[in-house]
Structure 1
Amino acid sequence: MELIADIFLVAGALGAGFYCYILSRRLSRFTDLETGVGGAVAVLSVQVDDLTRALEAAQATAGASGDSLENLTDRAESVAKRLELMVASMHDLPPAAQPAPEVKSPLGPIFRRHDSAGASQ
């Protein structure tokens, strides 16, 4: 009976050893820096660095654009104040004389011929 138990114990140890060997090969392929997850992690790390640099550049550009927009807004407000003053001063001017209405002929336009001396015929 002990012999059978020893055989099963040796078989179990050999099975566990074979399983560990297969598992170590799979893990070495899994963590390979070229094709496995290690390679994917390395690529993602490089992409994160690139995105960080791009984000910093975008933030700097946005800050410069914000400053420029603030300056333009200040200029527009000062021009708007000047225009308001000009419009307010226009109320103090007398109204412009109304032009005389044109008299239209019921027959339509009349054409006259002028000679070289300028007198009409």
Structure 2
Amino acid sequence: MEMIADILLVAGALGAGFYCYVLARRLSRFNDLENGVGGAVAVLSMQVDDLTKTLQAARASAGASNESLVNLIDRAESVAKRLELMVASMHDIPETPAAPPPPEPDSPLGPVFRRHEDMGASQ
């Protein structure tokens, strides 16, 4: 009886050893940096780092653009106030009639018509 128990114990130990060997091979293929999930995790980690750097640069650029826009808006509001004051002050100015066109110089002979010799020769 003890011999049967010993045989079963050795068989169980051999089975467990074989199972551990198979799991070790699967795990090494799983963690392979070129083909397995380990490579995918490494690539994703690098992409996350790149995206983090890009996001920080975009935040800095957006902050600078925001400051620039705030300054431009302030300037535009001050110019708008000045324009409103100018338009309001234009209502106080009396309207003046438009100046008449300057008189044409009168010639003592009236209008003068001249014929060019080139035009007569081409006909």
Asked if these proteins are the same fold (TM beyond 0.5), I'd say yes
Secondary structure (helix, strand or coil) at the match of 1:92 reads coil
What is the CA RMSD across the aligned residues, in angstroms? 2.1
2:19 aligns with: 19
Aligned pairs, number: 102
2:47 pairs with 1:47: yes
Within a 5 Å distance, the mapping from 1:1-121 to structure 2 comes to 1-95=1-95, 117-118=110-111
Identity of matched residues, %: 78
1:108 aligns with: none
Q: Which amino acid letter does the alignment assign opposite residue 40 of structure 1?
A: A
CA shift digits 1:49-104 (9 cap, x unpaired)? 1111111111121112112111211110111011110121122123566xxxxxxx
Output the CA distance in 1 between the equivalents of 2:32 and 2:80.
67
Q: Which runs of 5+ in 1 are unaligned?
A: 98-116
Output the CA distance in 2 between the equivalents of 1:23 and 1:35.
18
Output the CA distance in 2 between the equivalents of 1:20 and 1:47.
34
2:116 aligns with: none
- How far the C-alpha of 1:39 sits from its partner, in A, is 0.9
Q: TM-score, normalising length from structure 1?
A: 0.74
Q: Which runs of 5+ in 2 are unaligned?
A: 98-109, 112-123
